[in-house]
Structure 1
Amino acid sequence: MSELWIQPTGATLAADIHGVDLSSAMNDTTFGRIAEAWAQHLVLRFSGQKIDDRILMAFSARFGELDRVPIAAASLDRADSDVVADARDWVAVISSVKKDGKAVGSLGSYELVWHTDMSYNPLPPRASLLYALEVPPGGGNTGFLNMYAAYETLPDDLKRAIDGKTCIHDSSRNSAGELRRGFQRTLDVRQTPGAVHPLVRLHPVTKRKALFLGRRPGAYIHGLPVEESEALLDAVWAHATQERFAWYQKWRAGDLVLWDNRCVMHRRDAFDESLRRLMHRTQIVGEAVLAG
């Protein structure tokens, strides 16, 4: 293993980790430097990796307990995805690939809106790791947003308005806005299904405050008239999704990207549905969301 070095992207978040071969054994000192870089930069990219699912799981597990694949994703026909048998409960397939007309992974080729992974759960994942096996020549880029910076630069009137407030995180729709199986459309946002979390959360490791927004559709701020909740959420989202807080990952096969789901939002660009894009994802079990 060559010497590890860290190269920030120059944006408000994300850094490249060089000099690490994830297929080789990693000592605690090296992992400690990676963990420190993650706390500082929120998103880390490891390029040029050649790993299988067992290695992906083992590296992921150093950040905490592995989270199970969501039930809907686990039920997909993944015979063409090369997920090893003992990894099927822990490695999700994010793919546009079809076999005999059936998807072998989830989320297809369409655009995904800004979101926080599985924030509709009481304990959202603390981290997500996404490894690229096949990528199209263009499109399918993933954007990331720094929610520390978004909160810290929030105008004072908006900070006051959301102080102590909680918000519903919609569990009925996926990241593309599609209604999940078993759910019905909710016309009144006050009745949106899903977990309730503080709009400002305290990161358990860095002790910094971050906006925690989940997804915009279906959200509702408890205790406010619907019109007031909608206006306040629109204002906060307009601020948080500015390009000055963003960095975009342009995928190459062999890239592994790790992000902190507690202080980062992300989205995906659409791409040509006739092209193959195949990725494997792991997630790390989260902890209770602390109010900031």
Structure 2
Amino acid sequence: MTIVRAVEMPQTDAVPELRIEPLSAAIGAEIHGVDLAQNIDDGLFDAIHTALMAYQVVFFREQTITAGQQLALATRFGEPAYSKKLKMYDGYDNVSLLENDGSKIVVGAVWHTDNTDYETPPWGSLLFAEVIPAIGGDTIWASMTAAYDGLSEGMKAHLDGLTALHDNANIRRLYAGSGNLRDEGVVIDEPAQHPVVRTHPVTHRKGLFVNSAYTQRIADVPDVESQHLLAMLFEHVAKPEFQVRFKWRPGSLAIWDNRCTQHYALDDYSELRRMRRVQIVGDKPF
């Protein structure tokens, strides 16, 4: 299987301190030589943004940014989103808290693209690790452009033009009692309808846009056809060839493009894991 990246590899000659280390063939890179607590000039930000478009998720180590600095960095990418589901971090309206000591269900322990139950899902997220267990607590990302490219031409033609219904009923049921939701167990969103194959507004690449957390059914097809088609796609997108796995350390930051990825937070730890997240307002998928 040949993996094609979304855009050309970013050139970093103009930012000599920046070094980009790809982590897998399909997705993910670690960016070295950047202190995000310092002023990020336009040239450096453009290099980071270009790397994000190319690798779909980028990682930084040994960062010391505060919640306010994380929010300010997110603002460079777009308008920070308000989370209707997760509890807020220390009074910030746009910074969410994800905290678990292993005694409760882990939010995110299912393959998902964030908030596809919204008419306009967030286009990106910045997730910072404050406290990490000694063992476990990794996150896996998968490239949905690579997953789409990995389908047969006949299946691509079949999927193009189909839409799917998304809601948050599964999430509310799965995570009731997790301690991270604002109003445990309450379904608050009407279903949203999105294309099964989404076109990225920047790279113009096509990618699969269905996920097992939020996607309920394919619209305008018989139930049995919808069930079988979604089951096949959910299995397909989870292939290791499309993935990168990241081992968190305190001070790690991940930035990912929610328009072309899914991710999965592993539920395999018994110590405190405390993260803070900022999402970026997106637009309606097409």
TM-score (norm 2): 0.86
Which among 33, 52, 55 is matched to residue 41 of structure 1? 55
Cα RMSD of the aligned pairs, angstroms, is 2.4
Instruction: Give the letter aligned to residue 8 of structure 1.
Output: P
CA contact (8 A) 1:112 1:176 kept: no
Contact 1:67/1:285 (CA < 8 Å) preserved in 2?
yes
Matched, 1:24 2:38: yes
2:111–2:212 Cα contact (<8 Å) kept: yes
Percentage of identical aligned residues: 35
Q: Is contact 2:97-2:277 (8 Å) kept?
A: yes
Matched, 1:62 2:76: yes
- CA-CA distance at 1:93 after TM superposition: 0.5
Contact 1:14–1:43 (8 Å) recurs in 2:
yes
Q: Distance in 2 between matches of 1:121 and 1:206?
A: 22
Structure 1 portions without partners, runs of 5+: 75-82, 185-191
Q: How does 1:1-292 map to 2 (within 5 A)?
A: 3-74=17-88, 83-85=89-91, 88-97=92-101, 108-109=105-106, 112-174=109-171, 177-178=174-175, 181-183=185-187, 193-215=190-212, 219-273=216-270, 275-290=271-286
Task: Write out per-residue CA displacement over residues 201-226 of structure 1, whole angstroms, 9 at most, x where no aligned residue.
Answer: 11111111111013356521111110
8 A contact 2:165–2:217 mirrored in 1: yes
- Residue segments in structure 2 that go unaligned for 5+ positions in a row: 1-14, 177-183
- Following superposition, the deviation at residue 70 of structure 1 comes to 2.1
| 1:112 to 1:58, Cα distance in 2 relative to 1, 3 A | same
Structure 1 contact 111–176 (Cα < 8 Å) conserved: no
- Post-superposition shift, 1:264? 0.3
* Alpha-carbon distance in 1 for matches of 2:107, 2:74: 27
- Distance across 2 between alignment mates of 1:120 and 1:166: 13
Q: 1:164 to 1:182 in 2, by over 3 A?
A: same
User: Would you say the 8 A contact 1:172–1:193 is kept in 2?
Assistant: no
The Cα of 1:272 is off from its aligned counterpart by 3.1
Cα deviation, residue 267, structure 1: 0.5
4+ residue segments displaced more than 4 Å: none
Distance in 1 (alpha carbons) for counterparts of 2:214 and 2:80: 28
Structure 1 residues 143 and 69: alpha-carbon distance in aligned structure 2, compared to 1, 3 A threshold: same
